[in-house]
Structure 1
């Protein structure tokens, strides 16, 4: 286990964001609806489902992090999503995180949550502060995130196998 800066594992970028009021609310069962991620600490950051707008969709396969509101709320976003303000995205650097499967992502989310737990509404995160944060990560001899070790450690978690069943599309029509 080594302490390594987030910037060595991820690119840190602002999400494509707008106020929820500027999106059309959609039914969760609408196959075109996308989750709207905000600064809540619950429900994977999802506060609603909205119709997508051109140029406003964030690609899935990233970790979302709230800079204020519920400061430090960190979640893995497997599918494409829409975003409110002050949500930052951590996108894995493939050379350091070659396996960014849902299990590995969930492990990294937990490490990031612990590292940012000292930040609050009064001492919010900023991109500068985020770039200085380090997390504990198992590394291989080659210096990449040790996905095999993570999978072994997470094997005992209850219902962890459900992560292996995440569909590629947010909504699948069963026939």
Structure 2
């Protein structure tokens, strides 16, 4: 079977991801800043655009979520799923999906974007009227390329993602949100 024809398996999201609530608070409890403030962090809302970022806020250390995770909105723009490269603060009903270490050996931005796409496709039937809950999220099934030992096939994902135009730009994302 060629790499392009890889069979995908439909599996439970919860078998491959730890699902937890983000550290969250209402935006009104943050001091709004702007994108050019080096000490500000993105504030995520339940938006379907701009990576879920609805504003930038002053850093409140006890209300910071680590970057390098996938986020999903449970309501509002239900199912809006993004990879958060940098740390962030969050409004309500934003949940974090972290790949289980025994199921995924490497978690890079290109792998994350592949996973974001398959998760988005899996939750398209949920809307504002039928929002996601942790229970519903744990029952979601996604298509993943799996090895014989049921680990995610990183090589397949990297190969597919490398064929996308400008995918190499993912490697140029700075570790810092703003480079001085």
Mapping for residues 67-146 of structure 1, pairs under 5 Å: 67-146=74-153
What's the secondary structure of 1:107's corresponding residue? helix
1:64 to 64, 71, 78: 71
TM-score (structure 2 length as normaliser): 0.93
Deviation of the 1:144 alpha carbon: 1.3
Deviation of the 1:141 alpha carbon: 2.5
Q: Which moved more, 1:124-133 or 1:149-158?
A: 149-158
TM-score (structure 1 length as normaliser): 0.96
Q: Which moved more, 1:87-96 or 1:142-151?
A: 142-151
What's the secondary structure of 2:51's corresponding residue? helix
Residue 169 of structure 2 corresponds to: 162
Residue 32 of structure 2 corresponds to: 25
Mapping for residues 45-64 of structure 1, pairs under 5 Å: 45-64=52-71
What's the secondary structure of 1:91's corresponding residue? strand
Residue 150 of structure 1 corresponds to: 157
Count of aligned pairs between the two proteins? 173
What's the secondary structure of 1:55's corresponding residue? helix
Question: Runs of 4+ in structure 1 displaced over 3 angstroms?
Answer: none
Residue 4 of structure 2 corresponds to: none
What's the secondary structure of 2:15's corresponding residue? helix
- Deviation string 1:108-133 (CA, Å, 9 cap, x unpaired) is 00000000000000000000000001
Find the aligned partners of 1:157 and 1:170 in 2 and give their Cα distance: 24
Find the aligned partners of 1:172 and 1:40 in 2 and give their Cα distance: 26
Find the aligned partners of 1:77 and 1:147 in 2 and give their Cα distance: 19
Unpaired runs of at least 5, structure 2: 1-7
Say whether residues 1:13 and 2:20 are aligned partners. Answer: yes
What's the secondary structure of 1:75's corresponding residue? strand
Unpaired runs of at least 5, structure 1: none
Deviation of the 1:142 alpha carbon: 2.8
Q: Which moved more, 1:93-102 or 1:124-133?
A: 93-102
